[in-house]
Chain A
Amino acid sequence: MICRLAKAERRIQSAKAATLAGIDSTNHSEITLMYEQLETAESSDNLRRVAVDPVTRVEGHGKVTLLLDADNHVRQARLHIVEFRGFERFIQGRPYWELPVLVQRLCGICPVSHHLAAAKAIDQLVGVDPENLPPAADKLRRLLHFGQVLQSHSLHFFNLASPDLLFGFDSDVAKRNIIGILQEYPDIGLQGVKMRKYGQEVIRMVSGKRIHGTCAIAGGMNKSLSREERDYLLEDIGQILKWAEQAVALIKKVHCSNLPYYDQFATIRSHYLGLVKSSGALELYHGGIRARDRQGGIILDHQDYCRYNEIIHEQVKSWTYMKFPYLLSLGSEQGWYRVGPLARVNICDRIDTPKAEAARQDFKAHGDEPMIHSTLATHWARLIEVLHCAESIQGLLHDPDVLSQDLLLQGEKRCEGIGVIEAPRGTLFHHYQIDENDIVTKANLIVSTTSNNQAMNESVRQVAATYLDGRELTEPLLNHLEVAIRAYDPCLSCATHALGKMPLQLELVDASGRVIDRLVRESDGMLQRSLADA
């Protein structure tokens, strides 16, 4: 009801935003690039630079730079991601069977995603295609993956996103964190901690270790669940399922309580890409590539991901080390797309677990268009996936195959393997070539956050143009930029976390490059202001 009542108001707000940007809101192809003019300023003369470095509550390092003119009008907005480019050096020269363990060390937040993508790739190196994997191995890997997605999404929503959503983007910064949530919404905060813990316990039971598990190996798995392990996980899954349903209801309530704002904030109209089952249903572990355009039309469907090189290319831009993937058939300007929860829920025809499917239908019904483009709706989609994971875990725990010892298959050696999965943040590609001695000679990884690079930049520009233009910069205003980025839950491949290494720094730089003001938030939360020329 709330959603329906707010739709009319939302349409008015959306039209206002489009009019503000000088764009016909009915023409989606023009809206796609509505903030591109802010990627590069015509001239940097007489502009001052504002840097938010690093962006907090995202994994690793991110930096937003804004070039402002004397009247504080935004003339350029960019998100720089300090992406680690050492994957290949780290992997090449190692025997292929080490890969599932080795690649877990690429990232402190989604090691299981890398583990499974690498395992799928090396299955092919030993001549085993995904459809031939023993059913027990396939189901155990899926169970592991559902545990991973559940814990990762839970961490993001409850710990990183809920403070903004429940307190407000411009609420007191001292309260806008998980401690504030635990104090004012203790039940919600505790659910977040316990759902995260449960996902980690699924990983521990399937892999045998809290971290660095070695369960997925070339051609299958090296252990199944014992009855005791299965029963241990069954004890709490009913509660987790209930909390997942409550979380979906909560995000719907939050989103619909201010629908025009939530549907407009940082919103961009993009294409979407991800894996789907052969039936068109949501798929997280193995399927074909589907891409839909911004109006819901199919761009490509059920494509074999082993041909990803013929579907996706990556563009290089001079101002950032991070690449910009795009659909080759549409070209670099029109072919950029989004991946992750919003993309997956948008591209699939259904979800094959009943509660999540009902939630998906509810989600889709709240919009006026075939696709939901609201960037903040990513949180809603993410929690629908949490519900799907909880239902799927429950189903798999009742499947006798997860206790089976028929776990391994070997075929004829091949020299090339490609593994693709839907990681929590989106489609993840692992591609390896080996020599006659089983040593990796070539590796290529496209991580989910790279696929969302253009989309995150577009969202940053939309927020900069809508909320920052012509106003004095304040912490709440800058948090709006971070809220937009955080919706994508970017993982910047930074597992390192040395104490005292990551202050938040805000600098004002004039046209000559001189720092005229600096605000530093140390890792202990202390704020320090210093004038460079003082």
Chain B
Amino acid sequence: MPEPVLVFACGNPSRGDDALAPMLLEQLQNSRAHWPGCEFLMDFQLQIEHALDLQQRDLVLFVDAAMDCRGPFELSLLAPARDNSYTTHAMSPAALLQVYRSITRETPPPGFLLKIGAEKFALGDTLSSHAERNLLQAGQFVESLLKEPDAGVWRQRLALIDA
């Protein structure tokens, strides 16, 4: 039986700011706090088979570096979508939820996306100073989310942010 909460980080640790999500995951796993009921997974990019990782979950948080992030980080609620991303080797989280729905004929678990502001993605680069600052703030925010792993609570927080 999988853990009810899945945190899925996407990114390549050796491509500059693309390392943001894997580093955030590493920080969570190495922190003193324990995260009962949470499973942490990471991969370079999302693909169709990751839909199977969403089975029997209550809540899923995708974390990814993003160039179009408004602020240091940005949380959004995902809806399954037939976007263009499934025509490439990497899928968007929303498209992955759509694949889940297609293969299971069930409503996917509530999914949220945390984008962390990023700017440089060259192979061999370290994190930019901008990304380092964003990582710090995003890490604190995710810790606060995981202390209340409830989709309703996360939606309320989202409403407060939007307000």
Residues of A within 8 A of B (CB): 56-59, 84, 86, 89-90, 102, 105-106, 108-109, 111, 155, 158-160, 174, 177-179, 182-183, 186, 189-190, 192-194, 196-197, 200, 210-211, 495-502, 504, 521-525
Contact = CB atoms under 8 A, between A and B. Distances in A.
A108 B115 CA distance: 20
Given A56-B87, A211-B43, A524-B81, A179 B52 contact: no
B86 interface: yes
B90 interface: yes
A152 to B, nearest CB: 10
21 contacts: A56-B84, A57-B87, A59-B89, A105-B12, A106-B123, A108-B44, A178-B86, A182-B99, A186-B102, A189-B103, A193-B52, A193-B99, A495-B45, A498-B18, A498-B64, A498-B121, A499-B67, A523-B92, A524-B83, A524-B85, A525-B85
Nearest to A158: B48
Given A179-B98, A211-B42, A197 B89 contact: no
Contact of A504 (B15, B47, B84, B121): B84
B95 to A, nearest CB: 8
Contacts of B81: 524-525
B82 interface: yes
B68 A499 contact: yes
Contacts of B75: none
B40 to A, nearest CB: 11
Given A56-B84, A102-B14, A521-B84, 19 more contacts: A56-B87, A57-B88, A177-B82, A183-B102, A495-B15, A495-B44, A496-B18, A497-B18, A498-B64, A499-B65, A499-B68, A500-B67, A501-B121, A522-B84, A523-B84, A523-B85, A524-B92, A524-B94, A525-B85
Given A105-B14, A523-B83, A182 B103 contact: yes
Contacts of B99: 178-179, 182, 193
Q: How large is the interface on B (under 10, 10 to 19, 20 to 34, 35 or more residues)?
A: 35 or more
A86 B124 CA distance: 8
B115 A499 contact: yes
Contacts of A109: 44, 89
Q: Name the 5 nearest CB pairs between A and B, nearest first.
A: A108-B44, A525-B84, A182-B102, A105-B14, A500-B68
Contact of A189 (B13, B45, B102): B102
Q: Which of B15, B66, B99 gathers most chain A CB within 10 Å?
A: B15
Interface in B24-69: 41-45, 47-49, 51-52, 64-68
Interface in B104-146: 115, 118, 121-124
B10 interface: yes
A174 B84 CA distance: 9
A500 B49 CA distance: 22
A174 B86 CA distance: 11
B13 A105 contact: yes
Nearest to A109: B89
Contacts of A105: 12-15, 123
Contacts of B83: 523-525
Contacts of A495: 12, 15, 18, 44-45
Nearest to A56: B87
Nearest to B80: A179
Contacts of B84: 56, 504, 521-525
B110 to A, nearest CB: 19
Contacts of B98: 179
B120 to A, nearest CB: 10
A497 B48 contact: no
Given A108-B44, A495-B45, A501-B67, A190 B87 contact: no
Nearest to B44: A108
A496 B12 contact: yes
Nearest to A107: B44
B102 A498 contact: no
Contacts of A177: 82, 86-87
Nearest to B68: A500
B43 A155 contact: no
A297 B134 CA distance: 60
B88 to A, nearest CB: 6
A193 B100 CA distance: 10
Contact of B47 (A86, A190, A196, A521): A196
A373 B52 CA distance: 38
Nearest to B105: A186
A521 B84 CA distance: 8
Nearest to A57: B87
